[in-house]
Structure 1
């Protein structure tokens, strides 16, 4: 089996409007590199300032570089009869396919993602980003965020994964699965349009009816998992899915709220599997003793947890900081139930840089969510109610909100007036 291990750097910009500015491909036969292709590419468009700062690639550097159509034949040749391998290969593959589609060529190859493989073969790592993962595994990375540097690090990571998968069961199962998927043009076409962004996606049958609703911080990856899975449920969904639509939210919590409410309204045929909270400890209230205490989380007490923590030390640290305050029990209970003020907004990131998302609480009850532009005056209850979407909420989502507000400190509170 031959692999084309690659990485691309792009101009940045709007989804599906990016162009490649650098590409690196190492053809690997499982033992050694047999071919190499590395080149800057003239994208014939501006390179986003953030990309220039991250990669060091400037407009001047690519000005005299070949254009993509001049390199397309070489890319076809070096990847012919090979499995494309990349760290978050979905992104690289989408970008390369987009470039070829502009030339009128339908470029298709089976793919393997080293993020997915790493999570399976080397579970329990603190991070699976390329830089942090390689650092943890002792793999040197030179010229990070340049195509040749990242692609070479991926070569070394992939070699390690092959070595650790002694029976080759995982690698073979992924290859067999993806080879089968590469023949399914319907699924490939559907997945191509999906962004790697936070939001809700909807799978529709041939009549347009919604048969599945789910949310993710990466719509493209989550939909790909559903539409390429091997379980009977996944296979049934794959057979019935004819269209995919999506709505971006920017905020993971808003995505969860939106999906929860729209599942109740639309009653789709298939339901997503609820994720397990990986935190080990929770904060609980004892009203009889006016006391907050820490306990290990389990399936029975999780629904009563006020906050959850990944370690006992973090839980103790938080509780100690609260116990030092006057009348801490009553004040903390009011705070955690969002009852200290009558009307509040909790704001999170929006769908664009010029927007915020919000959750509206009225006397401690979450009654709606929505979005507003940064220049809007949003401190009036009536205005909020006009632009919000009425919402129900479950305990899991409320726990996420409390954790993000009180522990992560990533939500902002706005006190509203009538």
Structure 2
């Protein structure tokens, strides 16, 4: 049995919010079997922004019952039920606080439809109640009122239950406590306001000093790790975190690039200072006596144009083997098979077209080498890297002009960005350095699905 509920509050300081409206629908897994809906006099003023959001004002609540007058009915309708809500941790915490003020310990198992929808509907770009029900075609009225939000949650929960045929996911997400193990309620409240999106997060102390910033493909999950980890740095963040801000980027590449620059600029107390990127080994192009282009790992030489650089020799050699294998190049031509045979070993396995025996024309062989170089070298190249945006109808773009990283932008799919001059009109300028170059090169190598426009 489930008690699907929504609570509207006065807003205000943590654990000092008062309930202004509550709606509870008792649901047996098939239909609603009971309901309770009521305004509540919180005996404290409502924050102005809440009045604007919900339409509930102080005058409306003067004659409404106080919480102690509806407490018995809440206990009765939730008896034997799992509490279900969209962002259940918030509603359950506020409800428990009200009961605690009456000297009653209200303890229930909880189930959050945000977490449930993230598991069962991972393709949805947003798991906020409003956007989720619109995307699923669930009718909704009285948005930001307890009855409207609670009924929409009933319909959403019904759909999610149908998707989880074995009910294994539902069972795994049922919680017996209001807060995650090892996390203080204050931190839990901070975490509740953070979405599960790709981007950057900024942690500030009570004096509004930025003490830590980071990036993640799931900001909420990463912050949860900070707030539950027993490590020394995490303990410091747990003690000092007062407010959190975030910036959604959609693109992991933009998050990496912004993190790199902002740590250097802001120097947050608990971020390690970025070390100077030392890449002593590089991949260079050459040509042999027969006219075949060669690739070789050498000590980095600032006077020569490298294709890509590496922090270690092992990493460099491993990368070269993959390049040769993926592009059907010849190990012997590239100095990787020094044996006495006239051909390289991959030729025997069909992995080489026979350039080592002059069976492949240099022009055909070199075309593949040049294609690889053009896809990975920055020198004098101009390109736009198209990646995910912050919404379904948005994309991100990173601009590299003549080998220099210029910045990034977001654009709507209806707005075609196919020329550098067009992109420059909406570009956010960024600093170019060795670190950004390495970040972009590594990201391109890993993310094969990227769309890259070259000029």
Distance 2:426 2:146 in 1: 50
1:337 aligns with 2:430: yes
Structure 2 matches for 1:384-403, cutoff 5 A?
none
Structure 2 matches for 1:8-407, cutoff 5 A?
8-175=7-174, 178-179=175-176, 181=177, 194=190, 196-197=192-193, 199-200=202-203, 244-245=238-239, 246-252=241-247, 257=263, 262-264=270-272, 288-289=379-380, 291-295=381-385, 317-318=416-417, 320=419, 322-323=420-421, 336-338=429-431
Distance 1:242 1:94 in 2: 25
Question: Which digits, 9 at most, give the CA deviation of each residue in 1:39-69, with x for residues without a partner?
Answer: 0000111122222222221212111001112
Q: Give 2:448's aligned residue.
A: none
TM-score by length of 1: 0.57
Kept in 1, the 8 Å contact 2:23–2:35? The answer is yes
Question: Which digits, 9 at most, give the CA deviation of each residue in 1:309-342, with x for residues without a partner?
Answer: 789958x84453x4269xx7xx999x7335xxxx
Deviation at 1:302, TM superposition (A): 12
Q: Secondary structure at the match of 1:26?
A: strand
Kept in 2, the 8 Å contact 1:88–1:114? The answer is yes
From the CA coordinates, give the structure whose radius of gyration is larger.
Answer: 2
Kept in 2, the 8 Å contact 1:6–1:24? The answer is yes
Deviation at 1:99, TM superposition (A): 1.6
For structure 2, the residue ranges without an aligned partner over 5 or more in a row are 195-201, 206-211, 248-257, 274-374, 389-397, 441-455
Kept in 2, the 8 Å contact 1:68–1:99? The answer is yes
Kept in 1, the 8 Å contact 2:407–2:430? The answer is no
Deviation at 1:116, TM superposition (A): 1.2
TM-score by length of 2: 0.53
Kept in 2, the 8 Å contact 1:286–1:292? The answer is no
Deviation at 1:103, TM superposition (A): 2.3
Q: Give 1:381's aligned residue.
A: none
Distance 1:101 1:118 in 2: 30
Distance 1:71 1:215 in 2: 45
Change (3 A) 1:126 1:163: same
Aligned length: 297
Deviation at 1:196, TM superposition (A): 3.7
Distance 2:81 2:151 in 1: 17
For structure 1, the residue ranges without an aligned partner over 5 or more in a row are 203-211, 229-233, 266-283, 339-363, 366-392, 400-418
